[in-house]
Amino acid sequence: MLVNQFLILGAVLFCIGVYGVLARRNGVLVLMSIELILNAVNINLIALGALQGPEAAVTGQVFSLFVITIAAAEVGVGLAIVLLIYRNRTTVDLDEVDLMKG
């Protein structure tokens, strides 16, 4: 298998995630798009690790485990923030959350 198969799939998922972050208005959907981006990163880490030999393969797996853990923490805090926005403004529309816009 070519390493580029995996890297380009990662790039595709990353770009779909970037589109989602830019185009979605719902806060929960933006968080889902961020998960797509983090998954693309994990594919890249594991594919590049597998390319470089056994030690790098293990290192790539360990780093992707760290990324998965941090993604879980990020979703927990992110959803708590979205819930707080909903409670204060009864909407999760990110276009209406413009308190800090100059």
| Among the listed residues 100, 102, 83, the one whose alpha carbon sits nearest the alpha carbon of residue 91 | 83
Q: Is 2 in the site for another protein (CB under 8 A)?
A: yes
Site for another protein in 63-102 (CB under 8 A): 64-66, 68-77, 79-84, 86-87, 92-93, 95
Q: CB neighbours (10 Å) of residue 72? A: 9
Residues 24-63 that bind another protein (CB under 8 A): 24-29, 31-33, 35-36, 39, 42-43, 46-47, 50-51, 53-54, 57-62
Residue closer to another protein, measured from CB, 74 or 102: 74
- Measured from the CB of residue 25, what is the shortest distance to another protein in angstroms? 5
Q: Which is closer to another protein, CB of 83 or CB of 100?
A: 83
Q: Are residues 27 and 92 in contact, defined by beta-carbon separation less than 8 angstroms?
A: yes
Task: Let me know: does 32 contact 44? Beta carbons within 8 Å.
Answer: no
Shortest CA distance to 43 belongs to which of 21, 19, 60?
Answer: 60
